[in-house]
Amino acid sequence: MQNSHLSDIRIYPVKSLTGISVQSSQVFPYGLDKDRLLMLIDDNGLFITQRKYTQLALVDTYLENDKLKITAPNFSDLMISEDEFSLETTYVKIWRSECDGFVAKEKINQWFSEYLNTSVRLVKYNHKKPRASNPRYSKGHDIVSYADGYPLLAISQSSLDDLNSRLEVPVTMNRFRPNIIADGCQAYAEDNWKKIKIGGVEFDAVKRCDRCILTTIDPNTGIKNESREPLTTLTQYRREIGGVVFGMNLIPRSSGAIKINDTIEIIC
C-alpha cells in the first residue's frame, strides 16, 4: 500500500449526468468542489436519475470558465451560469433525505424537460441549509451534496481490473461513478480502509458502496444490459448482507486540495 496514489479525480456537476476528470480539486465537508451541487427533480420534488431515465447517460458536462456546458444528442448546447437560479428554494427529496434547492430559470428547465419528455426542474444545492449524510455511518455534523448518501466514493483501478477479468465484455470505470480512483494497490484494498490521507486531507472510510441497476447502463448508449452485467457477476463474489458492494464511501475529516499523483496514505 505504500505506493498507492491518486490516479484520477472525477466530479459530477449534475447528479446522474456524465462526469468530468480534473487534475485537482478542493475538498469540502460536503465533498469535492462542484460535485453534485446540481440535480434534476420532478414536479413533486423527487430526484431524477439514470435508474429511470437512462438517456441521462448521454448528457455530457463541461466546465468552461465560470459556466457549465451541457450537451446531448440532437440538442443545442446549454450553458448554465451561477446567476441563473431563483433566490427562492423548493422542496427536494433524495431517497429518505429531505432538503431544498434553488430552481433554475425556465429556459434551463425546458431544455431538460424536452430532452426527457417529462416535466423536470434543475435545482442548485443550498449551502445555508446543508443536507445531512446517511446518519447510520456518519457523525452528527456530517453533510453531503446531492450525492446518494456520502460525500465521496473511492475505487481502486485494480478492483475494476479484477472485475473485468471475470466479464465477457469489460466495462469502464464510469459505470461506477467514483470521485477518487486509486492505483498502485491490490484489488479491493479499499474494502479494508478505515482512515486515509490524500495529500494533506484526511478521510474516514465509512461504508462499502452498495451497487444498483445503474451500473448495468452502458454510458455510451444509455441502454441497460439485458444480462444485468456487471451486476450479475458482482453478485457472485461481492455480495454482503446489505447488498452487492464495489467501492468505498468516504467522509472528509479535514479540508484542502487533492491532486493527481498524490500519495494515498493508509492511516488505519
pLDDT digits (tens, 9 = 90+) for 60-80: 999 999 999 999 999 999 999
Pairwise pLDDT comparison (250 vs 140), residue with the higher score: 250
According to DSSP, the residues that pair with 138 across neighbouring strands are none
CATH class belonging to 5-266: mainly beta
- Alpha carbon 146 to chain centroid, angstroms: 9
- The pLDDT tens digits of the residues spanning 112-154 come to 999 999 999 999 999 999 999 998 899 999 999 999 999 999 9
Q: Which residues contact 33 (CB under 8 A, 6 or more apart)?
A: 11, 25, 26, 27
Quick check: 16 pLDDT over 90? Answer: yes
Quick check: 1 pLDDT over 50? Answer: no
Q: Are strands 180-183 and 152-156 parallel, antiparallel or unpaired?
A: parallel
pLDDT at residue number 123: 98
pLDDT at residue number 108: 98
Interatomic CA distance for residues 138 and 136, integer angstroms: 6
Quick check: 244 pLDDT over 70? Answer: yes
Average model confidence (pLDDT) across the chain: 96
| Residue bearing cell 460525500 | 151
Quick check: 242 pLDDT over 90? Answer: no
Quick check: 51 pLDDT over 70? Answer: yes
Mean pLDDT, residues 161-184: 98
pLDDT at residue number 142: 97
Q: Which residues contact 165 (CB under 8 A, 6 or more apart)?
A: none
Quick check: 10 pLDDT over 90? Answer: yes
pLDDT at residue number 3: 77
pLDDT at residue number 174: 96
DSSP letters spanning the chain: -TT-EEEEEEE-SBTTS--EEESEEEEETTEETTSS-EEEE-TTSBB--TTT-GGGGG-EEEEETTEEEEE-TTS--EEEETTSEEEEEEEEEETTEEEEEEEEPHHHHHHHHHHHTS--EEEEE-TTSPEEP-GGGS-TT-EE-SSSSSSEEEEEHHHHHHHHHH-SS---GGGT--SEEEESS-TTGGGG-SEEEETTEEEEEEEEEE--GGGGB-TTT--B-TT-TTHHHHHHH-EETTEEEEEEEEEESS-EEEETT-BEEE--
Report residue 19's pLDDT band, with 50, 70 and 90 as the boundaries. Answer: very high
Interatomic CA distance for residues 171 and 169, integer angstroms: 7
Interatomic CA distance for residues 231 and 221, integer angstroms: 18
Report residue 2's pLDDT band, with 50, 70 and 90 as the boundaries. Answer: low
